[in-house]
Amino acid sequence: MSSSGFAFANPTYTADNFFTYSAGDIEADSSIQAMQATEPIPTPQVDPPVMDLSAVLPAAAIAQIQAAGQLVFHSVGDTGGIVKPAAQLAVADAMCADLANKTYATGEPAFFYHLGDVVYYFGQQQYYPEQFYDPYRNYDAPIFAIPGNHDGVLYSQEPVSYSLQPFVENFCAASPVAAVPSFSRTTMTQPGCYWVLTAPFTRFIGLYSNTGEEMGVLEDDSTIGQDQITFLEQQLAAALAARNASNAAPEALILAVHHPPFTGSSQHFPSAAMLADIDSCCTQAGIWPDLVLSGHAHLYERYTRTMASDGREIAYVVAGNGGYYNLSTMKMNVAGVKPQPGQHSEPDGQGNTINLDQYNETDFGFLRIAVSASEIVVVSLGVDPNAAVGTAPAVIDSFIVNLAAHSVTTGSATTANVSRPVKKKAPGRGSLPGGSQTGKTHTPGAHRGRSKSSGAPAKGTHAGASHTGASHTGSSKTAAKAGKAKTTKRPA
């Protein structure tokens, strides 16, 4: 169900169909040195960059979601299925299966909110067919996104006019148009790379944390400027005004940013300066997010931050396990021991406490999130690329955010009610850019573990790196100094 010229899934289901037209290109990319520099952010197409879900889904769908009493959606980041694409395809298949045989009244997800790193390694347009349009060709719902560092990072003499150009052309188009031959999905019309999505029961503020491999930044006094901070201040104020409006419907506030404010990944750093900017804006506006979603670190993590000022609890989720082949691991302490979920707590450097509630470093997967007038229910689902067809995703974690009490409680979900669709042999899909044919057929399960390229990850990326000097929270001094891009902290 779509509105205003949008198209989502292909009209006929097709099974995973591997082709290798870009394998040589990806292998060549693996030796390219990324230019680790903060890049300017494209100016939003609309001011303010705010979009309502009704711009994409028709009024009847919005009414059904409201009548159901909840908005359900998918979310995950870091999906680009390079080197070993089986994981991305398995996760995408499971998400597609979660749409099947449901209505909004019975929990059908309304869209997929992507947490960044759609295309590796440099967000090139030539890889959008195989890393985005093909994996989600059966996903019959809108896909929104914030950019990740790999969507915006450049290499020397990259043939684009500006950083994030392919992302803008695919997600921030002026109107929905057919993007790639043989795929029905049209371009999305988000108003910018940082933007607001309003929907029944919730408001999303999506931020762009730029191109750093180690840590994210939202602003500076030179390259980026202060526009995104001004946007955040204004949209937090708008969220508070919406909550306080007479007869206003209850509304959750979800903040999405690719780089995680908190992470224990051995291959990544928490973004302390970025968190300080967000906190400053929230303090000034007098409103805090109920849930913060991030990717970047290729694993699942959940933290609860208890604020000293009023005791409220805020859930911070890292969901960077959407399909990039190289999962991250949690760092160990000096004794060689990893933290134990539920038993690790430390200060966040700003007078608050951060608790590690759960993590999973072994499973790919995605989030299934349901927002109602009273709570947010989040289920992290694990997908095994080698499992038999029809195997339901396993529940990695589940928790509930009580919107009135501002509390976070570990849930007790034990089943996901999601199964992978039965696969059929895929017909050829004609020609993709570059002239290569996609007429190969596919035997169910044959793609698992198969490699598109033997190339190593690009230099300057996280794969194979090990940063052990940072703590799990954004308070680490080592983490604050490790980023290559300078940030200017705003006064509180």
274-291 pLDDT per residue, tens: 999 999 999 999 999 999
**At residue 135, does pLDDT exceed 90?**
yes
- Residue 102, in any domain of the structure: yes
Question: What would the mean pLDDT of 310-315 be, rounded to a whole number?
Answer: 98
Q: How confident is the model at residue 436 (pLDDT cuts 50, 70, 90)?
A: very low
pLDDT for residue 415:
42
Average pLDDT, the chain: 84
Q: What percent of the chain has pLDDT over 90?
A: 73
pTM attached to this predicted model: 0.86
**At residue 30, does pLDDT exceed 80?**
no
**At residue 431, does pLDDT exceed 90?**
no
CA 34 to chain centre: 22
What secondary structure, in 3-state letters, does the chain show? Answer: CCCCCCCCCCCCCCCCCCCCCCHHHHHHHCCCEEECCCCCCCCCCCCCCEEEHHHCCCHHHHHHHHHHCCEEEEEECCCCCCCCCHHHHHHHHHHHHHHCCCCHHHCCCCCEEECCCCCCCCCCHHHHHHHHHCCCCCCCCCEEECCCHHHHCEECCCCCCCCCHHHHHHHECCCCCECCCCCCCECCECCCCCEEEEECCEEEEEECCCCCCCCCCCCCCCCCCCHHHHHHHHHHHHHHHHHHCCCCCCCEEEEEECCCCCCCECCCCCCHHHHHHHHHHHHHHCCCCCEEEECCCCCEEEEEEECCCCCCEEEEEEECCCCCCCCCCECCCCCCCCCCCCCEEEECCCCCEEEEEEEECCCEEEEEEEECCCEEEEEEEEECCCCCCCCCCEEEEEEEEECCCCEEEECCCCCCCCCCCCCCCCCCCCECCCCCECCCCCCCCCCCCCCCCCCCCCECCCCCCCCCCCCCCCCCHHHHHHCCCCCCCCCC
- Residue 180, in any domain of the structure: yes
- Residue 240, in any domain of the structure: yes
Question: What would the mean pLDDT of 57-75 be, rounded to a whole number?
Answer: 98
Q: How confident is the model at residue 331 (pLDDT cuts 50, 70, 90)?
A: very high
- Residue 41, in any domain of the structure: yes
pLDDT for residue 372:
97
pLDDT for residue 28:
57
- Residue 417, in any domain of the structure: yes
**At residue 330, does pLDDT exceed 80?**
yes
As for how many domains the chain has, the answer is: 1
Q: How confident is the model at residue 178 (pLDDT cuts 50, 70, 90)?
A: very high
Q: What residues make up the domain containing 109?
A: 23-482
**At residue 422, does pLDDT exceed 90?**
no
- Residue 488, in any domain of the structure: no
- Residue 4, in any domain of the structure: no
pLDDT for residue 83:
85
- Residue 193, in any domain of the structure: yes
Q: How confident is the model at residue 426 (pLDDT cuts 50, 70, 90)?
A: very low
Q: What percent of the chain has pLDDT over 70?
A: 79
Most confidently modeled range among 126-140, 240-254, 337-351: 126-140
What CATH number is given to the structural domain containing 211? Answer: 3.60.21.10
